Amino acid sequence: MRSVWWAISGAIILVTVITWTGPTLISWWFTPPVDTLFNCKGPIEWSLRRFQWAQLAALLLGSVIGLIASFAFKRTNSPSLTR
């Protein structure tokens, strides 16, 4: 159960980071495959789709990092040699 909480925490942290930095990342990565003379609908839809994929990737990556952290910081319950 502890591993699940680590995975959820990692996912929430990375989704929060990508949501906060998303508009900056989209403008940095913005090379739309559509003409942008006066119609902005195409580029906006395209960039928001990319942003949604970035959020999904951050969610999955955060879950994996959280699971790895749960195993790295796992408490060992080894039996004591003294009584």
Summarised one tens digit per residue, pLDDT across range 8-65 is: 888 888 888 887 777 777 666 666 666 666 666 677 778 878 888 888 888 888 888 8
Full-model pTM: 0.55
| 58 domain residue, yes or no | yes
> Is residue 81 a part of any domain in this protein?
no
80 occurs within a structural domain = no
Task: Tell me which residue range forms the domain holding 64.
Answer: 2-30+38-69
The confidence band for 77, taking pLDDT boundaries of 50, 70 and 90, is low
Into how many domains does the chain fold?
1
- When computed from its CA atoms, the radius of gyration of the chain, rounded to whole angstroms, is 20
DSSP 60-80: HHHHHHHHHHHHHTPPP-PPP
pLDDT confidence of 2, banded at 50, 70, 90? confident
Question: Could you tell me the pLDDT band of residue 5, with boundaries at 50, 70 and 90?
Answer: confident
- Asked whether residue 16 is assigned to any structural domain, the reply reads yes
